[in-house]
Amino acid sequence: MMILRFSLKKSLSKKKVLFLEYLENVRGYSDLTIKSYDASISKALESIEIISEKEQILFNLMPYRIKIAKLNAKTISKNLSAIRSFVSYLNSNGMKVKLESDDSVKIAKTLPKPISHKYIIQALDGAQLKEKLVVVLLYTLGLRISELASLKLEDMSESWIRIIGKGNKQRDVPLLDSTKEIIDEYLSSFVTKKFLFEKNGEKLSENSLRYMVNKVFRDVSLKVTPHQLRHSYATALLNGGAPIVDVSELLGHSSMATTQIYTKLGSALKQQNYNKAHPLCGVDE
């Protein structure tokens, strides 16, 4: 039985490699996402009770769930989601695998706090050209950091940029005149061949782009992530009256439900502004 278990785990390790290649080549996932899947699945396989039955393989998640029980709900949910995706892949590729103790973990739908427009402008005033362009593109196009890293010169026109999002899904996002001017200024100062942001002929890493964002806002004593700039973009559009269906398309959301989280956030901000401004809410006339 031990030999069978070792053989089975060795087989699963090989299947995991194929699954990660599938995520990269077929689903178009970013390097960071693939590394996250790899880490989650590898750690899970160390703890999951794997039972080989006659017609199927049983994954009992209970030992693994006990091990990760002290993590926050969002992290637990993320790890379990990786295992479910892996099992789904196995079942679609000749292995019959059943999950046990696979109850969902409920997590609150929350978003990072959007950054006020005035603080973004303040940060941009002291930024270097390349750093400035990184922040402006995230803020005016609502990009994910992986999408920014993958921006190609051939996908840009005078007024539109084609974005390759999750799962290689394409969407066209309008380009502001002011943003186009910064791009033109950047391209006149930096030589790139294929990608907008490059180093030694290869696209600049996501971590390098994150560092630039952190640096720009650190100089004005703020801690801001690229994802917060994406949220700021979405919130600004919705608060400005943009239809939710258009915002969902611009963000590249696969489900309208994801975009609806922003409407709740926008309503909360409107309530805060109301409380500050209305005379009956304690503000002097």
Annotated catalytic sites, by residue? 144, 166, 227, 230, 253, 262
- In terms of DSSP bridges, do strands 198-199 and 170-174 run parallel, antiparallel, or are they unpaired? unpaired
Helix (H) or strand (E) holding 171: strand 170-174
| CA–CA separation, 254 and 167 (whole Å) | 10
Instruction: Collapse the DSSP code of 43 into the 3-class scheme (helix H, G, I; strand E, B; otherwise coil) and give the result.
Output: helix
Q: Which residues contact 234 (CB under 8 A, 6 or more apart)?
A: 114, 142, 247, 251, 259, 262
Cβ pair 142, 262 in contact under 8 A: no
Residues present in the chain in total: 285
Angle at 131 between CA 263 and CA 36, to 5 degrees: 60
DSSP 182: H
For 127-148, letters b (16+ CB in 10 Å) and e give beeebbbbbbbbbbbbbbbbbb
Query: What CA–CA distance (Å, rounded) separates 30 from 41?
Result: 17
Residue 273 CA to its chain's centroid (Å): 29
